[in-house]
């Protein structure tokens, strides 16, 4: 029970970290910090959607139950790493209005890199992990 409560708290904190503007920001012409924050978050959401597609394909292609379990555990650990690393990397702006933008940019960068890692694994013939290195 204790672990389930912790999992539920994280999404609530993430959502409240980026209050969405009443109107959609024109990201090609964002001028206020709020608009910049929203646009950076949208960029992260796009990168996260691509990651989730690649992850789902890799998970579906993985046939051994133990391998699926390891993939799921690795992804959970990677998400925890990403969140903590970005929190550390953006600590200088912890009380600033720019923090949501910096966090989103960090999440987007790390998510794009993780997607590339998973794509390499997805492109390997099943059972040949040497091509992913």
pLDDT at 71: 95
Integer CA distances (angstroms), 18 to 34, 112, 115, in order:
9, 20, 23
Cα 19 from Cα 28, distance rounded (Å): 20
Residues 41/104, Cβ–Cβ less than 8 Å: yes
Q: How many domains does the chain have?
A: 1
pLDDT above 70: residue 5: no
Tokens describing residue 83 = 């969140």
Cα 23 from Cα 44, distance rounded (Å): 19
Q: Render pLDDT for 69-123 as a digit per residue (tens, 0 to 9).
A: 999 999 999 999 999 999 999 999 999 999 999 999 999 999 999 999 999 998 8
Residues 81/106, Cβ–Cβ less than 8 Å: no
pLDDT above 70: residue 50: yes
Mean pLDDT calculated for residue range 48-53 = 98
Which of 7-16, 42-51, 58-67, 115-124: highest mean pLDDT?
42-51
Residues 117/133, Cβ–Cβ less than 8 Å: no
CATH of the domain at 57: 1.20.1270.180
Domain that holds residue 86: 2-20+29-132
pLDDT at 26: 86
Q: What pTM, to 2 d.p., does this model score?
A: 0.76
- Per-residue H/E/C for the chain: CHHHHHHHHHHHHHHHHCCCCCCCCCHHHCCCHHHHHHHHHHHHHHHHHHHHHHHHHHHHHCCCHHHHHHHHHHHHHHHHHHHHHHHHHCHHHCCCCCHHHHHHHHHHHHHHHHHHHHHHHHHCCCCCHHHHC
């Amino acid at each position: 029970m204790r672990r389930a409560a912790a999992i539920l708290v994280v999404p609530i904190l993430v959502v409240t970290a980026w209050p969405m503007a009443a109107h959609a920001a024109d990201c090609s012409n964002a001028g206020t910090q709020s608009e910049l924050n929203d646009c950076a978050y949208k960029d992260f959401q796009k990168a996260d959607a691509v990651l989730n597609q690649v992850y789902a394909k890799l998970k579906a292609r993985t046939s051994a139950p133990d391998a699926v379990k390891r993939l799921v555990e690795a992804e959970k650990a990677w998400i925890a790493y990403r969140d903590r690393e970005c929190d550390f990397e953006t600590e200088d702006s912890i009380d600033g209005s720019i923090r949501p933008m910096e966090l989103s940019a960090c999440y987007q960068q790390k998510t794009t890199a993780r997607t590339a890692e998973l794509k390499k694994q997805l492109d390997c013939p099943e059972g040949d992990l040497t091509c992913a290195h």
